[in-house]
């Protein structure tokens, strides 16, 4: 579980060329493709939905790491799984029934993740660890790309890593991850790095991904 995963976020890609962009980061050495789904309600932005993800699926072999920043998300789980998600991450803040939601995700045969906003206590996931495959630590306030890694981001990653312990759970850093901030995220215990503009904002995707690995 310690192998580092780099998951470029398609949110920062050229939307007129999404298929080409996905293929490009795959060829450049990405491990996963991170797909940020935003609804304009849970976060103040709108991105794309299951139809776009389904359209991408035949053209790229990377596992799809689908991050739902939508509320409610429960009515849409089937659509995202059918679109080709390998994992579905939901926000702890977006449901009253986190345990049941995670159980439902796993029952669909995909991995279940929980995302924590910066102000949400890490203890929010303490009682559902048995249902989690991934914890997405938001190191920015969600909704927009290009933000700076929050000053306490590494501290929160370390707190999640300590809570996870030796369980087979990935710890994902999402937001403001760059070549400069990735070392702190890795040192704190993140083994998945989500990067948007730090990859898609560069001319050489391969070099950008390599820089995140350190």
Catalytic one of 31, 39, 133, 174: 174
Catalytic one of 36, 39, 65, 133: 36
Other Cβ atoms within 10 Å of 171 Cβ, number? 21
Cα separation, 93 vs 91, in Å, equals 5
The CB-based long-range contact list for 140-143 (8 Å cut-off, 24+ gap) reads: 140/174, 140/175, 140/176, 141/117, 141/175, 142/38, 142/43, 142/69, 142/91, 142/115, 142/117, 142/175, 143/38, 143/43, 143/44, 143/45, 143/69
Active site residue 78: no
Active site residue 36: yes
Task: Report whether 101 contacts 128 (CB < 8 A).
Answer: no
Closest CA to 115 of 104, 209, 107, 101: 101
Q: Tokens for 132?
A: 């989690």
Residues 6+ apart with CB under 8 A from 188: 154, 155, 157, 158, 161
The residues annotated as belonging to the active site are 36, 174
């Amino acid at each position: 579980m310690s192998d580092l995963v780099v998951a470029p976020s398609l949110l920062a890609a050229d939307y007129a060329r999404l298929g080409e962009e996905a293929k490009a980061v795959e060829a450049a050495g990405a491990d996963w493709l991170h797909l940020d789904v935003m609804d304009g309600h849970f976060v103040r932005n709108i991105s794309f939905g299951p139809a776009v993800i389904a359209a991408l699926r035949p053209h790229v072999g990377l596992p799809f790491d689908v991050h739902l920043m939508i509320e409610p998300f429960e009515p849409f789980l089937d659509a995202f799984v059918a679109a080709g998600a390998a994992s579905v991450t939901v926000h702890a803040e977006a449901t009253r029934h986190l345990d049941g939601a995670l159980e439902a995700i796993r029952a669909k045969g995909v991995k279940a993740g929980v995302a924590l906003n910066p102000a949400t206590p890490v203890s929010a996931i303490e009682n559902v660890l048995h249902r989690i495959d991934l914890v997405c630590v938001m190191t920015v306030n969600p909704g927009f790309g290009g933000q700076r890694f929050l000053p306490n981001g590494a501290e929160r990653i370390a707190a999640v890593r300590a809570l996870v312990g030796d369980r087979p759970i990935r710890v994902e850093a999402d937001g403001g991850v760059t070549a400069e901030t990735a070392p702190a995220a890795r040192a704190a215990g993140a083994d998945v790095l989500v990067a948007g503009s730090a990859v898609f904002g560069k001319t050489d995707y391969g070099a950008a991904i390599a820089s995140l690995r350190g």
